[in-house]
Amino acid sequence: MKFIVVTGGVMSGLGKGITAASIGRLLVDLGYRVVPIKIDPYINIDAGTMNPFQHGEVYVLKDGTEVDLDLGHYERFIGIELTGEHNITTGKIYRRVIEKERRGDYLGQTVQIIPHVTDEIKSWIREVSKKKDAEICLIEIGGTVGDIESMPFLEAIRQMRIEEREEDFLLVHVTLIPLDAGGEQKTKPTQHSVKELRELGLYPDVIVGRCKEKLRESTKRKISLFCDVEVEAVISNEDCDIYEVPLKFREEGLDKVILSKLKLEKRRESKDWEEFVKRMKELREEISIAIVGKYVDVKDAYISIREALKHAGVAVGCRVNCVWIDSEKLENQSFNLEYDGILIPGGFGKRGAEGKIRAINYARTRDIPFLGICFGFQLAVVEFARNVCNLDANSAEMGKGGHCVIDILPEQRNIKELGGTMRLGEIEVTIKPGTLIHKLYGAEKIRERHRHRYEVNPDYIELLESKGLVFSGYSDNGRRMESLEIPTHRFFLATQFHPEFKSRPLAPSPPFVGFVRSALEFKKSKKC
């Protein structure tokens, strides 16, 4: 087993996740089986209760584990499906250790960070690597070197480096190379970051320098000299589209450095990723999609939506310009949403809900292509019930009374634990033949990921369908509605599930492809 560890220095948010995912892509293209593990040093058990404003999107894996958005990058770049065991948090590790202590597994020992916590970390990493039959385990340690929360994990990695053969271990350190007022690339932050890493007993084999522009050879030589790495192992990672990063790394020779240091051979060379990026860069058509949500000030809160639109755009042949619109601002003022399509993403709570409902009404009454996801699906039901069925309709989540066309199921009402009422993970959905969503998927059974609490109230389904709303997908033997559409509309589709979580650059999500294609046709029709 080979281990590649990615750490970060200077500041957070440099792109360690993209770096790790891109390394994974390079290795997959070279013919190797890769298993990624993300280490998040926070004490939370998972990312499920985290505020999107602070932490960005909560990504959902197929087993229902709520995780950091970097695992979404791993799935998209490497082309695999992960589970909760691929995400280690301080909370998970400490829970395991405490459970063992309570059972008496430590036979009366004083339980300490070293060796008990670090042993648990190493054991978890090795167990997952072995279980997944991987050849290379790719480990990203969240946060920044020097953070007190990261210390047990870095110590565990230090121990692993001693325990593994030299040719089985590679440390990649990602740092910031800022530009001063005169445009000079400054290496001092990198020097200090590497110094701090070395004080912990860790020595980088590769340094990836994040910079607004390509690293100059003089900058690479300086980093090599002061940080004790070969010049060839100082890799430039200048600003570019995230899907270009694997190709930039290949140009920089990172794949050759990895193969050399880990004593591996090139098995094959796939061109699929390169062809995808080429098509993406050659796009000439452009459409504008309004994304109406309440976390629009933090674009990472909807990162999977954004990437799914990009994947679909490449498949259809157009660039997708995302226009971010705050749903709260639509609640009590006039507005114009004359875009090529309108998308309502998932979310929780009543704040901004009325603005989303107004946006849905705008799309439905003006025949603008519409895609609703999760909460967007539920609010599409509310909008239709209000304005077509003439009901005083609401969702129980909005707490306004009236006809709760969206409600929580009876068996969930007495569950008090936060998250206990959530429906999470991949679930089989049955699709009605002849519907729009059936044409998009080309199948009557699909599996998609969920993250929601409320459902369409079965008491109102017959009335809603009698007025022209079609529930085209369902699960749980017909108890839960999974998708809706309006056949008389140009493109009006909403799903209770999150199709964006399974969208990949080389395998775009069918609902997004259909939506983007309809938006492009709509734009062209306006020119006629």
Which H or E element spans position 181?
none
Which residues make beta-bridge pairs with 404? 394
Residue 497 · residue 424 · CB < 8 Å: no
Q: Which of 132, 199, 210 is nearest to 172 (CA)?
A: 210
First and final C-alpha spacing in the chain: 60
* E strand or H helix that includes residue 363: helix 353-365
Which residue in 171, 149, 205, 164 sits closest to 12, CA to CA? Answer: 149
Q: Which residues of 140-161 are buried (b: 16+ CB within 10 A; e: fewer)?
A: bbbbbbbeeebebbbbbbbbbb
Any idea which fold 2-275 has?
Rossmann fold (3.40.50)
For residue 325, the 8-state DSSP code is E
According to the model, what pLDDT value does residue 416 have?
A: 47
With left for phi above 0 and alpha for psi between -120 and 50, is residue 470 left, alpha or beta?
beta
Distance CA 333, CA 282 (A): 39
Tokens 């909008």 -> residue: 383
Which part of the chain is CATH 3.40.50.300?
A: 2-275
Q: In the numeric block, which tokens belong to residue 325?
A: 């619109």
CATH superfamily of 284-527: Class I glutamine amidotransferase (GATase) domain (3.40.50.880)
Output the six-digit token pair for 323: 């226009």
pLDDT digits (tens, 9 = 90+) for 136-189: 999 999 989 989 999 999 999 999 999 999 999 999 999 999 999 889 999 999
Q: How far apart are CA 97 and CA 99, in angstroms?
A: 5
The residue type of 113 is I
Residues 194/207, Cβ–Cβ less than 8 Å: yes
H-only helix segments in 11-81:
16-29, 52-55, 70-78
Enumerate the active-site residues: 374, 498, 500
For residue 420, what pLDDT is reported? 55
* Structure-token pair, residue 446: 């699909």
- Say how many CA atoms lie within 13 Å of 13 toward its Cβ: 4
Residue 510 preceded by cis peptide, ω within 30? no
For the entire predicted model, the pTM comes to 0.93
216 secondary structure, DSSP code: P
Q: Specify the pLDDT at position 450.
A: 96
| Predicted local distance difference test score (pLDDT) of residue 348 | 86
Start-end ranges of CATH 3.40.50.880 in the chain? 284-527
**What would the pLDDT profile of 40-62 be if each residue is shown by its tens digit?**
999 888 887 777 766 788 999 99
- Token readout for 238 is 């200048």
What's residue 413's pLDDT? 56
Contacts with 322 (C-beta within 8 Å, 6 or more apart), sequence order: 289, 291, 306, 309
Sites in the chain below the pLDDT cut of 50 = 416
